[in-house]
């Protein structure tokens, strides 16, 4: 398994996050809740696919691999990711409707910054630690 598609998904997730941050940085009078709910729906769809690919393909392949270190790393990330995925699902339940965003705009902005910062930190860790370990593991398998 290669991590190329997962990395590309990270790039799109990052672009959506930057756009969302731009929206929450605006005063409520300039805020476009309909556009934001559309962006959130796109992000949610992409994250669901991304999380599923990691959970169903990447982590099991790493855990079943020949490297105890890679298996431990995948297991650790799998445990941590479940929590972030659940947090994002709860976030989406609260903020998937424009009326909810408009009614408690400041809460939405604060929670959006928090969840996007957690996603950003996770993406950085995956790109810098998990995916290189996976690439090394799978390159070793291919070479053998």
95-116 burial, b at 16+ Cβ within 10 Å, e below that, comes to: beebebbeeeeeebbebbeebb
Q: How far apart are CA 38 and CA 17, in angstroms?
A: 13
**Model pLDDT for residues 27-47, shown as the tens digit of each residue:** 999 999 999 999 999 999 999
Enter the tokens of residue 26: 């605006």
What does pTM read for this prediction?
Answer: 0.92
**Model pLDDT for residues 92-104, shown as the tens digit of each residue:** 999 999 999 999 9
Which stretches of the chain are DSSP H helices?
4-24, 33-53, 59-63, 68-95, 98-103, 105-125, 131-143
């Amino acid at each position: 398994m290669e991590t190329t598609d997962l990395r590309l998904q990270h790039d799109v997730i990052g672009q959506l996050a930057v756009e969302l941050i731009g929206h929450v940085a605006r005063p409520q009078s300039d805020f476009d809740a309909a556009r934001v709910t559309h962006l959130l729906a796109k992000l949610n769809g992409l994250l669901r696919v991304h999380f599923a690919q990691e959970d169903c393909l990447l982590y099991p392949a790493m855990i079943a691999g020949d490297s105890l270190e890679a298996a431990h790393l995948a297991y650790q990330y799998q445990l941590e990711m479940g929590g972030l995925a659940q947090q994002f699902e709860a976030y989406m339940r609260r903020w998937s409707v424009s009326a909810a965003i408009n009614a408690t705009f400041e809460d939405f902005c604060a929670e959006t910054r928090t969840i996007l910062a957690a996603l950003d930190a996770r993406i950085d860790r995956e790109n810098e630690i998990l995916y290189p370990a996976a690439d090394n593991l799978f390159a070793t398998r291919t070479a053998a």
